[in-house]
Amino acid sequence: MKRKLILISLVLSLILTLMTPATALAKSDKWNNRPTTTNFSGSGLIYVTYMPDPIIKGKTWRYQGEIAEGFLAQCDWDLLAGTIFWSEHDSVVKVDEQYNAKGTMKGTFSLTRPDGSGTLNGSFTGKIQGNLYTGDIMDSGTWKSTGGTGVFENVKASGAWSADLHYDAIPGTEIYTLVGPVTWGGKYVSYTPPEIIKPGKPIKPWKPGLPFKPGKPIKPWQPFKPGRP
């Protein structure tokens, strides 16, 4: 009887010994697979490439389908450095007799890597303030990702943005519209570290002087003449 008890005790001890490192390893793997959150900031240039005619009711002006394009020249989140920016939004503003405007916007955006390795899609909201006659407009708001392809497939991101626009030519063109610097920052959560650049395919960011290739016929913003429509 004692021999049986000793044998059973040895078997149980061996099982517990074998189970302990497996449990510890499982906990360690679970910890290592936790997503990491990283803050980032970036900046670039945007310009309005399509400005629809407003729908005017009294002092309320509504714009539907405005398109802005551009790029992020630099960003400390490597995946966004050099990405091409595209957005479409609707806006509602209150306009006074001097064409001072104040309102809100809501739309969607995409940030695409120039090497074709992925696109980050998302939505954004913002506030608008400025003058429609002089073309000095200040926008700011928040954004969040809604999905991604390629290197952005397992990434979630959100943050804040701002733009300071004025009437000028799109760099490298003779097209005059609302143009200005944009800031784009926030935080991103990555579940798997994506491959940033494939060997032999370096990123080629946008440079001034390259020909502008709009996706739609250009109908840029133009200053409003005195006198209400």
User: What pLDDT does residue 26 have?
Assistant: 44
User: What pLDDT does residue 154 have?
Assistant: 87
Angle at 132 between CA 126 and CA 134, to 5 degrees: 120
User: Residue 6: is its pLDDT beyond 50?
Assistant: no
CATH 1.25.40.10 fits 36-190, yes or no: no
Contact criterion met (CB below 8 Å) for 161 and 89: no
Contact criterion met (CB below 8 Å) for 76 and 60: no
pLDDT, one tens digit per residue, over 171-225 is 999 999 999 999 999 999 976 554 555 555 555 555 554 445 555 566 676 766 5
User: Residue 31: is its pLDDT beyond 60?
Assistant: no
Question: Which tokens hold the place of 50?
Answer: 């399509």
User: What pLDDT does residue 49 have?
Assistant: 96
**From the centroid of its chain, how far is CA 164?**
17
CA 127/CA 120 separation, integer angstroms: 23
Report the pLDDT averaged over residues 69-95.
Answer: 97
